[in-house]
């Protein structure tokens, strides 16, 4: 199948690369004792509304999925029907031993028309939260995970400066209705995603413009902008302001609710000669956003892979490297350098809000999780304030432009019957969660 992805890299014929020794500087020999995580450490799995709920009809991504020349290989449709099956899913999550669930509430459902907030939808999410609490699960809520209402994108989306106030109003309404039940609030998922996509130029600007023009035409408006495909400079400027105003709106309703953003991060590694380029790229894609998070209560760190950088920028995946279903490198150590970077730049507590791997081989998922947790162990041993490991993802689900082929889930979902099957990786992670400790290496 033709693979289209926002962030995948393609393997190309490159000879072995000499990497500087400092890359592994954080590593220490592991001990022969199990490693005990701090009391209260959150162990969880994450989802996003559009990827699991199904029939997100009023969202901009639904519209993009339906375009004749859509960048999506297939549409989301019913996906996992999590909108109706959330109680079963939360119960499964709790049964594995995990103690937290990160999910997003869907703006396109809550405010399907500008200024109209659906009481019924807000009540639905209240039931989801209550379901978590009944199962002893701490709810981590993302207010916006990529998708927006169609009306919002049809008036310029995040490119329109009005987006800042609109997002803040939405945050206020959601918090008024749900805030008392939420443990941790993430305003916007991967605030830096548009900047990352643009720096990588994975989808050329002409193609992004053509998709936005086709979307505008399909609903008879002049301009349509859905991140990450719109104008990157305008989106980044406004989305950072929207985060701050949204955070303040949440805190105005519930001052004690820990609130922050989440960022997509990469283990950037320079090959000799690429050091300057790495600095520049890292500033544009990560550090600029990390600096803007310094006043927040926490930073949500999300990392999946590494990227090699030479003097010209991103390099293709090294020949012979093991790659995931996403086309990028299988790199369990991605999360450790991301945590270290986030801690160094922000100085605030770190929650790992996503980390995982697209693979059809569940043994590889277990290997990936173990590798990631060893990295978190080293961070904790060095005194870094890391407070969670939330795995991406609970269910095999709609992986955006790649459709249903990549499977990141701890739980498989039959696409026809919606039957859930818990994978060994879920029990592996659940056992660690139950004991709050990682067995000796
Ligand atoms: C996103 C998820 C996505 C995952 C795997 C993260 O960047 O937040 O929505 O499914 O990566 O690609």
The 10s digit of each residue's pLDDT in 265-323 is 999 999 999 999 999 999 999 999 999 999 999 999 999 999 999 999 999 999 999 99
Q: CB of 48 closer than 6 A to ligand 1?
A: yes
Q: Is residue 2 part of a domain?
A: no
**Residue closest by Cα to atom 5 of ligand 1:** 399
pLDDT value of residue 242? 98
pLDDT band at 64 (very low <50, low <70, confident <90, very high): very high
Give the total number of structural domains in the chain: 1
Q: Is residue 154 part of a domain?
A: yes
Q: CB of 396 closer than 6 A to ligand 1?
A: no
pLDDT value of residue 27? 47
Collapsing DSSP to helix, strand or coil, 224 comes out as coil
Q: CB of 46 closer than 6 A to ligand 1?
A: no
Q: CB of 354 closer than 6 A to ligand 1?
A: yes
Q: Is residue 1 part of a domain?
A: no
pLDDT band at 30 (very low <50, low <70, confident <90, very high): low
* CATH assignment at residue 67: 3.20.20.80
Q: What size, in residues, is the chain?
A: 441
Q: CB of 61 closer than 6 A to ligand 1?
A: no
pLDDT value of residue 204? 87
> How far apart are the CA of 33 and the centre of ligand 1, in A?
34
Active site residues: 190
pLDDT value of residue 406? 98
No. of H helices and E strands in the chain? Answer: 15, 13
pLDDT value of residue 56? 98
pLDDT value of residue 225? 98
- Whether 242 and 167 have beta carbons less than 8 Å apart is answered as yes
CA distance 33 to 438: 9
DSSP state of 157: G
The 10s digit of each residue's pLDDT in 214-267 is 999 999 999 999 999 999 999 999 999 999 999 999 999 999 999 999 999 999
Q: CB of 144 closer than 6 A to ligand 1?
A: no
Q: Is residue 15 part of a domain?
A: no
User: Residue 191's CB: how many other CB atoms inside 10 A?
Assistant: 25
Angle, vertex CA 140, rays to CA 244 and CA 89, nearest 5 = 145
Q: Whose CA is closest to 306, among 7, 14, 96?
A: 7
Gyration radius from the chain CA atoms: 20
The 10s digit of each residue's pLDDT in 399-419 is 999 999 999 999 999 999 999
The 10s digit of each residue's pLDDT in 93-142 is 999 999 999 999 999 999 999 999 999 999 999 999 999 999 999 999 99
pLDDT value of residue 22? 32
pLDDT value of residue 1? 32
pLDDT value of residue 203? 83
7, pLDDT greater than 50: no
Q: Is residue 14 part of a domain?
A: no
> How far apart are the CA of 190 and the centre of ligand 1, in A?
9
Mean residue pLDDT of the chain comes to: 93
13, pLDDT greater than 60: no
The 10s digit of each residue's pLDDT in 340-356 is 999 999 999 999 999 99
Q: Mutate which of 227, 330, 392 to test ligand 1's pocket (most atoms within 8 Å of Cβ)?
A: 392
pLDDT band at 2 (very low <50, low <70, confident <90, very high): very low
**Residue closest by Cα to atom 10 of ligand 1:** 399
Domain of 304?
A: 21-438
Instruction: For residue 269, list its beta bridge partners.
Output: 308
CA distance 420 to 396: 9
Q: Mutate which of 286, 400, 409, 410 to test ligand 1's pocket (most atoms within 8 Å of Cβ)?
A: 400
Mean pLDDT of 5-34: 41
Q: Is residue 141 part of a domain?
A: yes
By CB atoms closer than 10 A (0-12, 13-18, 19+), residue 69 is: exposed
> How far apart are the CA of 258 and the centre of ligand 1, in A?
22
Q: Mutate which of 104, 354, 397 to test ligand 1's pocket (most atoms within 8 Å of Cβ)?
A: 354
Q: Is residue 298 part of a domain?
A: yes
The 10s digit of each residue's pLDDT in 182-209 is 999 999 999 999 999 999 987 888 999 9
pLDDT value of residue 319? 95
Mean pLDDT of 368-395: 98
Q: Is residue 6 part of a domain?
A: no
28, pLDDT greater than 70: no
pLDDT value of residue 32? 82
Collapsing DSSP to helix, strand or coil, 261 comes out as strand
Cis peptide before 228 (omega within 30 of 0): yes
Which helix (H) or strand (E) is 360 found in, with range? none
How does strand 386-392 pair with strand 42-46? Answer: parallel
Q: Whose CA is closest to 9, among 331, 397, 354, 410?
A: 331
pLDDT value of residue 140? 99
Atom of ligand 1 nearest to the CA of 193: 7
Collapsing DSSP to helix, strand or coil, 363 comes out as helix
């Amino acid at each position: 199948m033709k693979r289209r992805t926002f962030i995948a890299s393609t393997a190309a014929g490159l000879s072995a690369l000499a990497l500087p020794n400092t890359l592994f500087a954080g590593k220490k020999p592991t001990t022969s004792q199990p490693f005990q995580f701090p009391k209260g450490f959150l162990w969880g799995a994450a989802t996003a509304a559009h990827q699991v709920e199904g029939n997100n009809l009023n969202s901009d991504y639904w519209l993009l999925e339906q375009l004749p020349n859509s960048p999506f290989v297939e549409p989301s449709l019913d996906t996992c029907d999590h909108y109706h099956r959330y109680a079963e899913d939360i119960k499964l999550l709790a049964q594995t031993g995990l103690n937290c669930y990160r999910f997003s509430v869907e703006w396109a459902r809550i405010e399907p028309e500008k200024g109209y907030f659906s009481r019924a939808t807000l009540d639905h999410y209240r039931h989801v939260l209550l379901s978590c609490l009944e199962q002893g699960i701490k709810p981590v809520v993302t207010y916006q995970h990529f998708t927006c209402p169609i009306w919002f994108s049809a008036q310029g989306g995040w490119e329109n400066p009005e987006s800042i106030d609109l997002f803040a109003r939405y945050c206020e309404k959601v918090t008024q209705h749900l805030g008392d039940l939420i443990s941790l609030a993430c305003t916007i998922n991967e605030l830096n995603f548009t900047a990352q996509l643009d720096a990588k130029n994975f989808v050329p600007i002409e193609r992004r413009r053509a998709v936005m023009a086709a979307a505008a035409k399909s609903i008879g408006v002049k301009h349509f902008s859905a991140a990450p495909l719109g104008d990157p400079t305008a989106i980044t400027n406004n989305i950072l302001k929207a985060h701050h105003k949204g955070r303040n709106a949440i805190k105005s309703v519930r001052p004690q609710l820990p609130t922050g953003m989440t960022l997509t991060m990469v283990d950037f590694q320079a090959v000799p000669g690429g050091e300057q380029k790495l600095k520049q790229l890292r500033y544009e894609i990560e550090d600029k956003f990390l600096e803007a998070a310094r006043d927040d209560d926490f930073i949500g760190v999300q990392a999946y892979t590494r990227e090699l950088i030479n003097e010209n920028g991103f390099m293709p995946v090294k020949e012979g490297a093991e790659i995931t279903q996403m086309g990028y490198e299988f790199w369990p150590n991605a999360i450790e350098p991301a945590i270290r970077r986030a801690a160094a730049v922000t100085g605030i507590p770190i929650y790992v809000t996503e980390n995982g791997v697209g693979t059809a081989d569940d043994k590889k998922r277990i290997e990936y999780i173990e590798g990631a947790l060893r990295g978190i162990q080293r961070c904790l041993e060095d005194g870094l304030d890391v407070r969670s490991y939330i795995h991406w993802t609970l269910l095999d689900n709609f992986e955006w432009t790649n459709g249903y082929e990549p499977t990141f889930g701890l739980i498989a979902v039959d696409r026809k019957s919606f039957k859930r099957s818990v994978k060994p990786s879920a029990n592996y992670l659940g056992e660690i969660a139950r004991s709050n400790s990682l067995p000796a290496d």
